[in-house]
């Protein structure tokens, strides 16, 4: 248990602002973005890998549990302390010094505490960006711990694909600083250890520095709403788009009628873009983009999209019921307002699932069929990243219903949905949010015994100390 | 030691053709693609993961060392037995049954014994391919064990980036079959274990089945030779191309004058494409490609390349001394003939290095300056994948020179070049060939002690049995 001797010792390892112990100051680190309300024993805010190492070493030696916290925007209780009041939050929010751009290598070496928006604000004048597109504004360390994907995964991949190297502090007695911070794009001289720390919720080490790949900013985009002829036409439509647009295609986002309708009803700035105001059962937001400025002799991107859609419209499979090209800003505004809109309908119960791309619509259809009998109060408001198999399977119960306050209700619902997703459709119960306390029991349940045994072994040889919110 | 009881027991675990013990039959498995001549105790050719598991379990229990072998096209003695005559080769060459294409998911689930050429021959009618472009024709399991890159890395990435899932047999007493064979593109529910088996030369397990990402075949390409104004202009040229061509750019390959000259002199089918036959000091082969058929209204790809090169030609940095667009087949023929050409000059000593992209030319310049005094017999014939930082730093000594037969000469040369590459330029001593017996001592030397300790720990919990040619 933390005592005053520990606090004095830890204070000596970080600078003045590096230790927070008053209730007011700690509050921001105790509450999660959407769900959590925990209690921290203390909050530490080191500024360098050496400070992190010293703090970790001290805590491991003294049996003090640490929870690394980055931007704290996650949705699975991965970065907040539990209710015990015994966990120390180690925040990355002051690790924001190093920011070394390598233009020739198109890479960036930086401290793990930078926010995504700050990174891209600094890169914008160079025509570059870190190509992970999210609604939230996480810090980099947490993006690595969750391996976030986002809306442009289809074109740029996830955080893993855009990470060249890492520096990590292990939770062992030495507070080992593990330098995996290669800038190389190609290097096969042993195990690529960084992957152990990507997507594993900070349980194997604390990321302090990163080398990431950068991409050129899009300079031309064209967007369209596509209405598939039916759910069964979504995949033929995606395949037709990929066939004709290749690397141009930068988003292929699906939106259900319920989600669109909730956004249009509750977010005043949105206009209903559909003919006669009739919202289709399912709509795809497709985006194509080019990273260069328009050139003479080159067909404008809107015209490319128009002509491709015309070709698909007339194709034998006839996957399109309707399609219209429109202004990017307006079209994305609707997409980004879906979460907000759905929340107005009642209590939101969110699922971050993924499937083989061809199974997404089958899963949603299955759920629409089975849900009313099992959970009659639920409205399904799904949307997702069809191009990479991700589904934000968001459900709503009315705020005044019994279900909204019944803890057991949510557990039964989660258990059932995950069992269908994982067992029946070979899907994932966490596509891009990783694991936290919220998903621990599902990790235990759905991870094969052999894999769990290996993970426990790996935990023992990397970070045997109490680190993070997940038990591997 | 292998005895007749073992042989009978192993024969019972595989089918008739699954065991080879005559010298003639074993020869093909004992000799490497370029360097190795080892001696096998036995060759086993299982057909299923179950057979692999049974064989591995038997061998681990009886202390019989196994060397997994795939296409045996590697260049670092990673898949051939040593000279002891005690190692059993476990070949994947009969693991060629399962081949399940998922068109919606744009992925392929297949046995690990398929050759790259066979995979792409089968995919071609669907307009798809496994986007790793190599001169050799390896089998898939070995491509995973080395994490090969190739000439289109810049656009498609390496094997790692194109692997969704694996099934692996561990070298433990049970011969554990580890099912990591996810088809999902997005899944963050724990450690992504497949990365332990990618690029680690088969030491941690034997890959039996893979799920890989597929890409659409290019339908239009345009190629050009670019002559940079000087070595210092190579990076500005690459950046100018990336800025103006983005995802169109599918290759940016550098070729030194010595390498080009060797190919033109010794490969009769090639024509000298340069004005007046004057080979420039350095030439870039640039390729751009699109995955769709030419469309009405769209500028032809040759014209795109011409206009971009004109723009770069006139740009302030003036990185180009010369440039000409030409037929893809002829231009690539020269690129692919470089290795062959260089071999005609004498004894080839090859290095597979990588650097931050901005350091490639600096490394080559450094070597040109230092080499004559240290190793006067050497001719440098480098070429490489400038777009991803890879350099095939190929050296030649005259066949009749003392250096060509002096074993110590080659060791001194390797030691020096690797020390400059790794210590002075923070580069890699194995960009895309991984580690084998040939690179073992450099792994030991250049891998930080902490990382080696972790690797040994990981080896102990995954595959404690004697597996492969590398000691981790």
Which among A71, A94, A117 is the end of a domain? Answer: A94
Closest among A250, A253, A240 to A155, alpha carbons compared: A250
Same domain for B335 and B366, yes or no, is no
Tell me how close the Cα of B165 comes to any Cα of chain A, in angstroms. 12
pLDDT over 80 (residue A98): yes
CA angle B139, A198, A419 (to 5 degrees): 85
Tell me how close the Cα of B465 comes to any Cα of chain A, in angstroms. 16
Q: Which of B296, B308, B357 sits opposite A104 (nearest CB)?
A: B357
Same domain for A208 and A224, yes or no, is no
Which among B317, B340, B363 is the end of a domain? Answer: B340
Mean pLDDT, chain A, rounded, equals: 96
Q: Which of A190, A291, A443 sits opposite B246 (nearest CB)?
A: A291
Q: Which of B104, B188, B307 sits opposite A431 (nearest CB)?
A: B188
Q: Cα B393 vs. chain centroid, distance in angstroms?
A: 14
- pLDDT tens for B216-271 read 999 999 999 999 999 999 999 999 999 999 999 999 999 999 999 999 999 999 99
- pLDDT tens for B404-425 read 888 899 999 999 999 999 999 9
Same domain for A244 and A294, yes or no, is yes
CB B79 within 8 A of CB B35: no
- pLDDT tens for A283-327 read 999 999 999 999 988 999 999 999 999 999 999 989 999 999 999
Instruction: pLDDT band for A146, please (50, 70, 90 cuts).
Output: very high
pLDDT confidence of residue B405: 81
Residues 6+ apart with CB under 8 A from A395: A348, A349, A350, A351, A378, A379, A380, A381, A413
Both tokens of residue A43?
Answer: 């909050």
Same domain for A411 and A431, yes or no, is yes
Average pLDDT over residues B179-192: 96
Domain of A370, CATH number, reads 3.30.70.2740
Same domain for B11 and B117, yes or no, is no
Mean pLDDT, chain B, rounded, equals: 96
From A25-34, A174-183, A407-416, the region with the lowest mean pLDDT: A25-34
pLDDT over 80 (residue A333): yes
Same domain for A103 and A154, yes or no, is yes
Residue B447 lies in a domain: no
Domain of A236, CATH number, reads 3.30.70.2190
Average pLDDT over residues B13-25: 94
Instruction: pLDDT band for B403, please (50, 70, 90 cuts).
Output: confident
Q: Where are the beta strands (DSSP E) in B98-237?
A: 99-102, 107-111, 128-129, 163-169, 177-180, 206-213, 215-216, 220-228
Residues of B in contact with A429 (CB under 8 A): 189
Distance CA B344, CA B124 (A): 35
Domain of A155, CATH number, reads 3.30.465.10
pLDDT over 90 (residue B135): no
pLDDT over 80 (residue A273): yes
Residue A470 lies in a domain: no
Same domain for B323 and B286, yes or no, is yes
Rounded (to 5) percent helix, strand, coil in chain A: 40, 20, 40
Same domain for A258 and A211, yes or no, is no
From A126-130, B31-35, B211-215, B286-290, the region with the lowest mean pLDDT: B31-35
- pLDDT tens for A230-267 read 999 999 999 999 999 999 999 999 999 999 999 999 99
Residue B252 lies in a domain: yes
Instruction: pLDDT band for A15, please (50, 70, 90 cuts).
Output: confident
Domain of B31, CATH number, reads 3.30.43.10
Residues of A in contact with B448 (CB under 8 A): 179
Tell me how close the Cα of A401 comes to any Cα of chain B, in angstroms. 32
Tell me how close the Cα of B290 comes to any Cα of chain A, in angstroms. 7
Cβ of A195 and B192 within 8 Å?
yes
Residue A23 lies in a domain: yes
pLDDT over 90 (residue B1): no
Residue B212 lies in a domain: yes
pLDDT confidence of residue B34: 72
Same domain for B225 and B336, yes or no, is yes
Q: Where are the beta strands (DSSP E) in A244-392?
A: 249-256, 282-290, 320-326, 347-349, 352-354, 379-380, 383-385, 390-392
Residue B463 lies in a domain: no
Tell me how close the Cα of A454 comes to any Cα of chain B, in angstroms. 7
Residues of A in contact with B305 (CB under 8 A): none
pLDDT confidence of residue A405: 81
Residue A463 lies in a domain: no
pLDDT confidence of residue B3: 96
Which among A77, A94, A111 is the end of a domain? Answer: A94
Cβ of A431 and B104 within 8 Å?
no
What domain range includes position B361? 345-433
pLDDT over 90 (residue A391): yes
Q: For residue A107, what is the nearest residue in chain B, using CA coordinates? A: B356
Cβ of A357 and B104 within 8 Å?
yes
DSSP of B283-334, one letter per residue? Answer: EEEEEEEESS---TTSPPHHHHHHHHHHHHHTSTT--EEEEEEE-HHHHHHH
Instruction: pLDDT band for B401, please (50, 70, 90 cuts).
Output: confident
Same domain for B79 and B175, yes or no, is no
Q: Which of A180, A297, A450 sits opposite B303 (nearest CB)?
A: A297
Residue B138 lies in a domain: yes
| Tally of domains within chain A | 4
> Is ipTM beyond 0.90?
yes
CB-count burial class (<10 Å; 0-12, 13-18, 19+) for A85: middle
Cβ of A238 and B455 within 8 Å?
no
Q: Which of A199, A299, A355 sits opposite B188 (nearest CB)?
A: A199
* Interface contacts (A, B; CB < 8 Å): 260
Cβ of B191 and A299 within 8 Å?
no
Same domain for A360 and A372, yes or no, is yes
pTM, rounded to two decimals: 0.97
Q: Which of A160, A193, A428 sits opposite B184 (nearest CB)?
A: A428
Cβ of A104 and B191 within 8 Å?
no
Same domain for B230 and B279, yes or no, is yes
């Amino acid at each position: 248990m933390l005592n005053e001797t520990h606090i004095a010792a830890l204070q000596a390892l970080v600078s003045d602002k590096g230790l927070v112990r008053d209730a007011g100051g700690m509050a921001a680190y105790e509450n999660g973005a959407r769900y959590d309300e925990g209690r921290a024993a203390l909050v530490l805010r080191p500024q360098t890998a050496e400070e992190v190492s010293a703090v970790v070493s001290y805590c491991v030696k003294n049996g003090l549990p640490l929870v690394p916290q980055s931007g704290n925007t996650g949705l699975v209780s991965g970065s907040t302390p539990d209710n015990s009041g015994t966990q120390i939050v180690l925040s990355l929010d002051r690790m924001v010094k190093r920011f070394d751009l390598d233009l020739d290598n198109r890479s960036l070496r930086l401290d793990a505490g930078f926010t995504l928006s700050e990174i891209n604000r600094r890169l914008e004048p160079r025509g570059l960006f870190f190509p992970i597109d999210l609604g939230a504004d996480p810090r980099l360390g947490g993006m690595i711990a969750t391996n976030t994907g986002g809306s442009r995964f289809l074109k740029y991949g996830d955080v893993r694909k855009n990470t060249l190297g890492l520096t990590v502090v292990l939770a062992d007695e030495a507070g080992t600083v593990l330098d995996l911070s290669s800038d190389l794009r190609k290097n096969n001289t042993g195990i690529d250890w960084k992957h152990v720390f990507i997507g594993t919720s900070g349980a194997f080490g604390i990321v302090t520095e990163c080398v990431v790949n950068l991409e050129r900013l899009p300079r031309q985009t064209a967007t369209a709403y596509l209405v598939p002829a039916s759910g069964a036409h979504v995949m033929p439509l995606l395949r037709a788009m990929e066939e004709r647009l290749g690397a141009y295609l930068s988003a292929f986002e699906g939106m259900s009628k319920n989600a669109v309708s909730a956004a249009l009803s509750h977010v005043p700035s949105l206009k209903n873009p559909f003919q006669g105001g009739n919202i289709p059962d399912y709509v795809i937001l497709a985006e194509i983009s080019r990273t260069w400025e328009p050139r003479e002799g080159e067909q404008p991107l809107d015209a490319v999209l128009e002509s491709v859609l015309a070709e698909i419209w007339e194709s034998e499979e006839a996957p399109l019921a309707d399609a219209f090209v429109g202004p990017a800003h307006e079209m994305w505004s609707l997409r980004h307002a879906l979460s907000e809109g759905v929340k107005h309908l009642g209590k939101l119960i969110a699922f971050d699932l993924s499937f083989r791309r061809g199974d997404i619509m089958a899963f949603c259809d299955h759920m629409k069929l089975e849900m009313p009998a099992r959970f009659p109060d639920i409205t399904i408001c799904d949307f997702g990243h069809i191009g990479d198999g991700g589904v934000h399977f968001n459900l709503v119960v009315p705020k005044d219903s019994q279900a909204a306050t019944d803890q057991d209700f949510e557990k039964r619902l989660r258990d059932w949905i995950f069992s269908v997703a994982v067992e029946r459709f070979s899907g994932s119960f966490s596509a891009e949010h990783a694991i936290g306390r919220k998903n621990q029991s599902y990790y235990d349940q759905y991870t094969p015994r052999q894999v769990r045994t290996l993970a426990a072994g790996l935990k023992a040889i990397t970070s045997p100390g109490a680190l993070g919110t997940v038990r591997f």
